[in-house]
Chain A
């Protein structure tokens, strides 16, 4: 079962939230970030090439122009492979764990899996950044030493940065599954 809704992120860009419902205890949320815009790409390329041309008129060395082309190409490839995230996925499997995947624009995927035994809770936290209040969803991990303590806070959807309405959707579904998991794990 799948459904798709569109939300916006904290900067105003459009986000698409895909929800896939595999079973009562397995859910996947996929948040697609806005694509790289042609306008910004053109602007950066033009700036770099104008700067290179300015240097060329000063130095009369044509290597500068080829170097500028190389730098632009390598920079674009590096940006697509290491920086630009295409979509972020959150997979929750009851009694197994929570998995977060970030897929980059070049196709690379980086995955983190947290076992259910380590998860204390999933919460929406607020952060104050300059003049803004930003809400973000995060997973609290249990402290192995202290039973009621928290050892780590793992934020989710860091690159997509959705707004509160989207976060509430994800939060509700996560809490259902976590409650179900706590209820069944309490009984042997």
Chain B
């Protein structure tokens, strides 16, 4: 195989010296990490390499020599470098050479063909691949195949293709700790040799993070202890808490915040990204909530909203009354059963009357209630939206009740009809065998059964129409609530930190690499530039999306239609406690 030499771009203008790095025999590639300059004592170089090897679990060794010279004047240097091959033996021995000020490189890789020191040498073909050391160090490779997450205590660096290069550079951070201003025994050139990269803000944030996290963790544990206390346990209260989506959202946020401020160190890069994403999401949520709050306070919108609320509720109730009057007449030209129609219509009208009285009773307090609820927007926009969804549920409670009554009546009717239809044909449902069997009925059984069957079937259109109307209204309300929940879900689960990282520092999230062939001269080795291919935005969202409440409808369209036809009640979000009654 052609020998691939991965050379860092920061070392292309370094002075002559020794090449230090890792040799991967399976890929036949040499990853150069740094250049050791003259003067050096070989024993000290070997000590340094042993230290690095122990600290980073990467088998770092001297790979060859690097010669950066002017036009053929330093011949003695060339001979000296060749002599170093005897001191630091490595198979194969790499000799890279570059003429100062020109772009022509020359590479030689020699390999001894036998154990004896005088055995004949053979040369391999060499291909130079330049890489940006800083970017490769900071980036994280996302392979398309789902490889198992590498644990922190893994023994050796991986040997899988280009992942080996990334792994080698990332694990060799120990080698890059010293810069040229340090008074060490060995002088190195690498990406940090001009000065170790650090940021004051990051260091200050790290120092401050410890106590702040501790404080917040205590606070959050107090809050969760308070919410789990005995006072809130008894049945009516716990039932209510489990039904409100606001409580669900608050609980979710509490869990997320506990995760973020926990004092354990993050287990791996995935956990770190998750923490960062959660933090940014919570901060954005609160910022949007405060924005909403300031907008609501600006023109005294609370009063406007409260003033508008009662007339809107009145209007809705009026429209419902009109609808019922229409149903009690001859809706769409259909002929209803007058008696049943009147009964059902009056029953529902009485409910609406109760509802309007209730709203009028509450109207003086609405502004205060809204104002206090609006304060909760400072906890986040998602909390405000959940409260909105809960308010919509409460205001359309009468529609929900009507739907339940209509559905139950219809369901009873359908079940009655199906069993009487079987009787009409002389069959019976066998509960033991779970199938339809023939059965011989008495004459009076048949008579009463047929009578009831005809009654039920003639009353079917009326009940079916009421059921249809109220189901459509209920579905409308469910759709509105569903949209609000979708928005909440979006804000909860979008990984904003990862998206920002992909936008501003695309080399941090790598999907792979790409190569570019540099200028080629005849007789010189092939030179390639390896760049990082960033992850597409869709993949970033898919890989790093945060777990959300998971309120997705569990039915398919087919089962939904079936349930609607048979009059079974539909609960759109079946999860651990949702708005049902």
| A interface residues with partner B (beta carbon < 8 Å) | 22-23, 25-26, 28, 91, 93-96, 99, 101, 111-113, 115, 117-118, 144, 181, 184-185
| Residues of chain B with a CB closer than 8 A to A181's CB | 1
B44 interface residue (CB < 8 Å to A): no
**A interface footprint on B145-166 (CB within 8 Å = 1, 0 otherwise):** 1000000000000001110000
B162's nearest neighbour on chain A, judged by CB, is A115
| Residues of chain A with a CB closer than 8 A to B1's CB | 95, 181, 184-185
Pick the interface stretch among B231-239, B382-390, B482-490, B507-515. B507-515
B2 interface residue (CB < 8 Å to A): yes
Shortest CB distance B489–A (Å): 28
A96's nearest neighbour on chain B, judged by CB, is B4
The complex places the Cα of A144 from the Cα of B148 at a distance, in Å, of 14
> Contact at B4–A22, with CB atoms within 8 Å?
no
> Contact at B515–A113, with CB atoms within 8 Å?
yes
The complex places the Cα of A113 from the Cα of B520 at a distance, in Å, of 21
With A113-B533, A115-B161, A115-B162 already in contact, the answer to whether A26 and B4 are too (CB < 8 A) is no
> Contact at B161–A117, with CB atoms within 8 Å?
yes
A25's nearest neighbour on chain B, judged by CB, is B2
Number of interface residues of B (CB under 8 A): 21
Q: Can you identify 25 A-B contacts, CB atoms within 8 angstroms?
A: A22-B520, A25-B2, A25-B125, A25-B526, A28-B517, A91-B517, A93-B127, A93-B515, A93-B528, A95-B2, A95-B4, A95-B28, A96-B129, A99-B514, A111-B514, A112-B512, A113-B512, A115-B161, A115-B162, A117-B161, A118-B161, A144-B145, A181-B1, A184-B1, A185-B1
| B interface residues with partner A (beta carbon < 8 Å) | 1-2, 4, 27-28, 125, 127, 129, 145, 160-162, 512-515, 517, 520, 526, 528, 533
A109's nearest neighbour on chain B, judged by CB, is B514
| Residues of chain A with a CB closer than 8 A to B127's CB | 26, 93, 95-96
| Residues of chain B with a CB closer than 8 A to A144's CB | 145
The complex places the Cα of A28 from the Cα of B526 at a distance, in Å, of 13
The complex places the Cα of A106 from the Cα of B101 at a distance, in Å, of 36
The complex places the Cα of A184 from the Cα of B3 at a distance, in Å, of 11
B525's nearest neighbour on chain A, judged by CB, is A23
| Residues of chain A with a CB closer than 8 A to B4's CB | 95-96
Which 4 residue pairs spanning A and B have beta carbons closest together?
A: A111-B514, A115-B161, A95-B1, A95-B2
With A95-B4, A95-B28, A111-B533 already in contact, the answer to whether A26 and B517 are too (CB < 8 A) is yes
The complex places the Cα of A145 from the Cα of B513 at a distance, in Å, of 24
The complex places the Cα of A146 from the Cα of B480 at a distance, in Å, of 50
> Contact at A23–B526, with CB atoms within 8 Å?
yes
The complex places the Cα of A111 from the Cα of B27 at a distance, in Å, of 23
Shortest CB distance B536–A (Å): 8
| Residues of chain B with a CB closer than 8 A to A112's CB | 512, 533
The complex places the Cα of A91 from the Cα of B28 at a distance, in Å, of 20
| Residues of chain B with a CB closer than 8 A to A185's CB | 1
The complex places the Cα of A118 from the Cα of B1 at a distance, in Å, of 16
B2's nearest neighbour on chain A, judged by CB, is A95
| Residues of chain B with a CB closer than 8 A to A94's CB | 2
B517's nearest neighbour on chain A, judged by CB, is A22
The complex places the Cα of A6 from the Cα of B28 at a distance, in Å, of 38
The complex places the Cα of A181 from the Cα of B2 at a distance, in Å, of 9
The complex places the Cα of A138 from the Cα of B427 at a distance, in Å, of 64
